């Protein structure tokens, strides 16, 4: 389970914070989503009401938290941040909801990991700005209705499919974030390099952009490693530094990281390219199937190494080529 390096150290988080765009116009790419959010916020402002609840779906590092902060910033409302795993009982949610100030934006990251009992409370809260609090136990238990201040919920999830329908239906707007293309990633990197006051040439930026799994967070982290390398070696932030950083991060020419490669290698060698079920694959690499499904697989599908079939996951011809392997069925032909 330790294959994916997600170093959420304080320094790493502070670094991320410093590079976060503050407004929709600074936010690179996702043009459609930006347009949709802009309309939604403007309409709410004109009618002087809280914006509709918003669900942001997509793999990690594509900008969900950033967008939640931008929603708060652009609508001039305070932001409260929480996460699904922090809400393990309905009581946790009741405490959170009842402490919101009118018009506050409530961000719940990984909302699909919230406790079931809290989910049910959330339905009512989202719809009517009201919750029912249970007091007492057994036959003497009663529920006391509690009015809430109006709020806007911004939920983030790596997979909207994991949310129960009644919850999904209560969001006025769902945005599906897509992986970024190379031109957009170069833009993210150029902006970050400027903020870091790091002179870096175009070839180096293009190289990072092509190898960061379509993900701004990974792009920024690689850029940081490049800066470190240049600093330590007294060199400029050029291709040499980029290659050193990529090596350090175990990034291959397609941008695959160690977990991506582990999944592919097992699919190719142990299961002869599939079809194989996702759970089996996940167990074989020692990861949770949710991680493989929401983090690893979307990118492998997007770059055409894996296809999903009703019988399971199958490696494509490109996958065999990329890993320099021959399907067993073709050996000796
Ligand atoms: P998520 O919540 O989806 O995991 P974040 O919003 O935390 O992702 O984004 C991770 C990092 O990537 C942030 O530090 C942010 O600076 C950067 N980032 C994400 N999306 C963009 C974007 N569209 N433009 C510029 N930077 C971005």
DSSP class of 276 = B
19 is known to lie in a ligand binding site: yes
Widest distance between CA atoms in the chain: 77
Catalytic residues: 64-65, 109, 158, 217
> What separation in Å is there between the alpha carbon of 44 and the centre of ligand 1?
25
Q: How far apart are CA 15 and CA 315, in angstroms?
A: 37
180 is in an annotated binding site: yes
103 pLDDT above the threshold of 50: yes
Do residues 271 and 278 touch, judged by C-beta distance below 8 A? no
Average of pLDDT values for 27-36?
Answer: 96
Q: Atom of ligand 1 at shortest distance to CA of 62? A: 3
Pairing of strands 306-309, 173-176: unpaired
pLDDT tens-digit map of 279-305:
999 999 999 998 899 899 999 999 999
Whether ligand 1 lies within 6 angstroms of the CB of 193 is answered as: no
Task: Report whether pLDDT(37) > 80.
Answer: yes
Q: Calculate mean pLDDT across residues 250-269.
A: 92
312 DSSP β-pair partners: 309
pLDDT, residue 7, reads 53
Q: What is the pLDDT of residue 219?
A: 95
Residue 84 pLDDT greater than 90, yes or no: yes
CA 290–ligand 1 middle distance (angstroms): 21
270 Cα to the center of ligand 1, angstroms = 36
Distance 7 CA to ligand 1 centre (A): 15
> Which pLDDT does position 250 carry in this prediction?
85
Instruction: Read off the pLDDT band of 252 (50, 70, 90).
Output: confident
Cα separation values, 217 from 62, 187, 189, 250, 258, Å: 7, 13, 10, 16, 17
Q: Is residue 20 part of an annotated ligand binding site?
A: yes
Q: Is the pLDDT of residue 40 over 70?
A: yes
Q: Does the pLDDT value for residue 2 go beyond 50?
A: no
Q: Kindly report which listed range (142-146, 201-205, 211-215, 248-252) carries the lowest average pLDDT score.
A: 248-252
Mean pLDDT of the chain: 91
Mean pLDDT for 128-155 is: 91
Tokens of 107: 């961000």
- Pocket probe mutation, ligand 1, options 9, 23, 61, max atoms within 8 Å of Cβ: 61
Quote ipTM for the complex. Answer: 0.99
User: So what's the pLDDT on residue 18?
Assistant: 82
- The stretch 59-66 carries a mean pLDDT of 95
Mean pLDDT, to the nearest integer, of 160-173?
89
| Bridge partners, residue 243, by sequence | none
């Amino acid at each position: 389970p330790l294959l994916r390096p997600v170093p959420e150290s304080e320094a790493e988080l502070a670094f991320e914070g410093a590079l976060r765009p503050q407004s929709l116009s600074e936010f690179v790419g996702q043009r459609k989503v930006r347009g949709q959010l802009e309309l939604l916020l403007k309409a709410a402002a004109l009618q002087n009401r809280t914006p509709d609840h918003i669900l942001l779906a997509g793999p990690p590092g594509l900008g969900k938290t950033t967008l939640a902060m931008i929603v708060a910033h652009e609508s001039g409302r305070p932001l409260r941040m929480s996460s699904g795993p922090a809400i393990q009982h309905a009581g946790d949610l009741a405490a959170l909801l009842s402490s919101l100030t009118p018009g506050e934006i409530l961000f719940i990251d990984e909302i699909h990991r919230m406790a079931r009992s809290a989910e049910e409370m959330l339905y009512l809260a989202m719809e009517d700005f009201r919750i029912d609090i249970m007091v007492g136990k057994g036959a003497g238990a009663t529920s006391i209705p509690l009015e809430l201040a109006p709020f806007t919920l911004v939920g983030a999830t790596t997979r909207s499919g994991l949310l129960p329908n009644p919850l999904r239906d209560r969001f006025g707007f769902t945005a599906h974030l897509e992986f970024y293309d190379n031109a957009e990633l170069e833009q993210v990197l150029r902006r970050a390099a400027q903020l870091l006051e790091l002179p870096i040439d175009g070839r180096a930026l293009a190289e990072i952009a092509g190898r960061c799994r379509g993900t701004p967070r990974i792009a920024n982290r690689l850029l940081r490693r490049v800066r470190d390398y240049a600093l330590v070696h007294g060199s400029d932030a050029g291709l040499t530094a980029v290659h050193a950083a990529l090596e350090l991060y175990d990034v291959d020419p397609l941008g695959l990281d160690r977990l991506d490669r582990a999944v592919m290698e097992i699919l190719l060698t142990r299961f002869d390219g599939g079809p194989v079920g996702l759970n089996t694959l996940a167990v074989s690499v020692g990861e949770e199937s949710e991680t493989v499904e929401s983090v690893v697989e979307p990118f492998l599908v997007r770059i055409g190494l894996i296809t999903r079939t009703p019988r399971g996951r199958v490696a494509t011809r490109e996958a065999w080529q990329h890993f320099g392997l021959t399907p067993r069925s073709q050996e000796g032909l």
